[in-house]
Amino acid sequence: MSLTVVGTMAFDDIETPFGKSDRIIGGSATFIAWAASNFVKPINQVSVVGGDFPQTELDALKARGVALEGVQIKKDEKSFFWSGRYHMDMNTRDTLVTELNVLADFAPHIPDSYQSSEFLILGNLTPQVQLDVIKQMKQRPKLIVMDTMNFWMEVALDDLKKVLKEVDVLLINDSEARQLSGEFSLVKAAKKVLSMGPRYLIIKKGEHGALLFHENHVFFAPALPLEDVFDPTGAGDTFAGGFIGHLAKTRDISFENMKTAIIVGSAMASFCVESSAYSVSAKSRRKTLPAASNSSYSW
Amino acid sequence: MSLTVVGTMAFDDIETPFGKSDRIIGGSATFIAWAASNFVKPINQVSVVGGDFPQTELDALKARGVALEGVQIKKDEKSFFWSGRYHMDMNTRDTLVTELNVLADFAPHIPDSYQSSEFLILGNLTPQVQLDVIKQMKQRPKLIVMDTMNFWMEVALDDLKKVLKEVDVLLINDSEARQLSGEFSLVKAAKKVLSMGPRYLIIKKGEHGALLFHENHVFFAPALPLEDVFDPTGAGDTFAGGFIGHLAKTRDISFENMKTAIIVGSAMASFCVESSAYSVSAKSRRKTLPAASNSSYSW
């Protein structure tokens, strides 16, 4: 069992109604790898960073069993940078700044040692890069999971639709599902999105849980109600990492096991939003699973 | 096992982004009784109507096993009237008109035949009337469930707090929980509300499901994702009717059984919002439970 993770490794600036943190480590592949490394090793990371990305963060990932052969380091360039401001509900946000930097001309290269990966997750990234990675895999992975965001629906919809035809599972949030489908009802939206390619669709609703759609079935997974939400950044990627990590560990890609994988992803994400945001490794080191409970939780 | 239901029997005007319906039958006690009558008989109804309330609607309730001895008919007055407009999300709404009419000086009278009720549900109504009913019960029911709304928090908060001290279960929606507690986090809100009297708190979140809080436990019940939401009016009361109906039928008021009761209430409510709104009896007659499923549903 091996897992390849593709995505960004980046710096984030986060503002919430309760505080502000400057240039913390973020990126879809960073969060996914941290979360998934609780379940499987090795994790084959594919990404690109600038010379400004701290070696300590790379070392910390390596210590978790994350292979970095597929991570390009462009010494004279700057890492991808994103800045956002969360609204009072801590569930919606505005993007303030997006600086592509090294991401602008990123051409991923899949090392030979990654080729046998049974599981592939395409974190939020340019659809063209996501498609490029799929094409470089000599043998199609057993399961391809993909995340994306509204930004790509606006600037690269045609490319995005090409990737959708190649993946098994799409992970998006409720507003993205509405935007991609043009439907307000999430049930109608799901039907349209499933007709675009993926056999499974997971709609993330933050504190309201997540929905898994497949053929004519739907599963509604609750989220752990939290007393304090400190920083939701990376929650979706942590969810994705827990989801694919559980599937890769159990090597069972049935609908039934995906239900469990969503519960695992939700539990991981609950730790992510509660933790302090000063560094992703500090956040992620705390991400161990709580005692199993299918029905109720204690405060 | 017997159940007493207290609440309004009324006329509603409903506007949604998709249509408008004039003077349909509504009211908290009407919806609760229709839903609960799927589970227990007799249902002891306590309410007040004007001479304009159709005899056919009263007959339809009677045929469902609803005792009407506690329903006062004031022939020369008008029934309670409410008018509201739903927002695009079909989950939030504005009240346009509230005409108390017969409700303005309603003094409930509990008939002797209702006195042995083991279960009492106080539908949304003046807190003073809710308190009056509790005081008239010679023997305290095994379980008292109460619904209320933001309106009473604004105009009768002191009375509302008195009722809260006397009930076992409070049913409110998320915005009402925030308003009553002054807390944005629903977990914090729940702690404050539980300190006001009720041992159980159910926070309804519409399409996002419902939360049950008790001591240091929380249960998150999903809602059935719906393709079409036609008219959400009465959904909360139908939920309440299914909830208390299941508890009264099983006579088990444990936390575990309340979880099941919430799932039952959610299933009943899903039928309510899907059905056409031209008459509550037409809506309610369709409210039979779908095939049991704890985990996933078919479209």
Question: What CATH number does the domain containing B110 carry?
Answer: 3.40.1190.20
Residue B186 phi, psi dihedral angles, 5° rounding: -70, -30
The alpha carbon torsion through A122, A125, A129, A131 (nearest 10 deg) reads 50
Selecting from A211, A216, A226 the residue whose C-beta is nearest the C-beta of B299 gives: A216
Instruction: Answer whether residue A291 is part of any domain.
Output: no
A291: confidence class by pLDDT, cuts 50, 70, 90:
very low
ipTM: 0.72
3-state helix, strand and coil shares in percent for chain A, rounded to the nearest 5: 35, 25, 35
The range of the structural domain enclosing residue A7 comes to: 3-285
Instruction: Answer whether residue B296 is part of any domain.
Output: no
Q: How far apart, in whole angstroms, are the C-alpha atoms of residue B276 and residue B285?
A: 11
Residue range B56-74: average pLDDT? 96
The token pair that represents B237 in the structure block:
């009361």
- DSSP secondary structure code for residue A286 in this structure: T
What is the reported pLDDT for A20? 79
pLDDT tens figures, A151-206: 899 999 999 999 999 999 999 999 999 999 999 899 999 999 999 999 999 999 98
pLDDT of B33 higher than 70: yes
pLDDT tens figures, A73-112: 999 999 999 888 888 776 678 888 889 999 999 999 999 9
pLDDT of A257 higher than 90: yes
Residue range A139-160: average pLDDT? 95
Instruction: Answer whether residue A100 is part of any domain.
Output: yes
The verdict on a CB contact (< 8 Å) between A187 and B299 is yes
- Say how far residue B112 (Cα) sits from the centre of its chain: 24
pLDDT tens figures, A104-126: 999 999 999 999 999 999 999 99
Contacts of A228 in chain B (CB under 8 A): 185
Residue range B80-105: average pLDDT? 85
Q: How far apart, in whole angstroms, are the C-alpha atoms of residue B253 and residue B263?
A: 15
Q: Name the percent of chain A lying above pLDDT 70.
A: 90
A228: confidence class by pLDDT, cuts 50, 70, 90:
confident
pLDDT tens figures, B186-241: 999 999 999 999 999 999 998 899 999 999 999 999 888 888 777 777 889 999 99
Instruction: Answer whether residue B294 is part of any domain.
Output: no
The verdict on a CB contact (< 8 Å) between A218 and B227 is no
Total tally of structural domains belonging to chain B: 1
Contacts of B201 in chain A (CB under 8 A): none
B185 touches chain A (CB under 8 A): yes
A224: confidence class by pLDDT, cuts 50, 70, 90:
confident
B183 touches chain A (CB under 8 A): no
A289: confidence class by pLDDT, cuts 50, 70, 90:
very low
pLDDT of A210 higher than 60: yes
B179: confidence class by pLDDT, cuts 50, 70, 90:
very high
String of b and e for B150-165 (b: at least 16 CB within 10 Å)?
eebbeebeebbebbbe
The verdict on a CB contact (< 8 Å) between B217 and A187 is no
Strands A169-173 and A19-26: unpaired
The verdict on a CB contact (< 8 Å) between B225 and A208 is no
Instruction: Answer whether residue A292 is part of any domain.
Output: no
The token pair that represents A159 in the structure block:
């490319």
Q: How far apart, in whole angstroms, are the C-alpha atoms of residue B130 and residue B137?
A: 11
Strands B10-16 and B80-86: parallel
On average, the pLDDT of chain B sits at 88
What is the reported pLDDT for B88? 72
The token pair that represents A145 in the structure block:
């999971």
Question: Which of A296, A297, A298 best probes binding to B when mutated, by most B CB atoms within 10 angstroms?
Answer: A296
- DSSP secondary structure code for residue A259 in this structure: H
Instruction: Answer whether residue A293 is part of any domain.
Output: no
Residue range B114-136: average pLDDT? 96
- Say how far residue A100 (Cα) sits from the centre of its chain: 18
Instruction: Answer whether residue A266 is part of any domain.
Output: yes
pLDDT of A52 higher than 80: yes
What is the reported pLDDT for A1? 60
A239-253, A278-292, B88-102, B263-277: least confident range: A278-292
pLDDT of A279 higher than 70: no
Instruction: Answer whether residue A243 is part of any domain.
Output: yes
What is the reported pLDDT for A217? 94
Contacts of B295 in chain A (CB under 8 A): 219, 259
Residue range B18-29: average pLDDT? 85
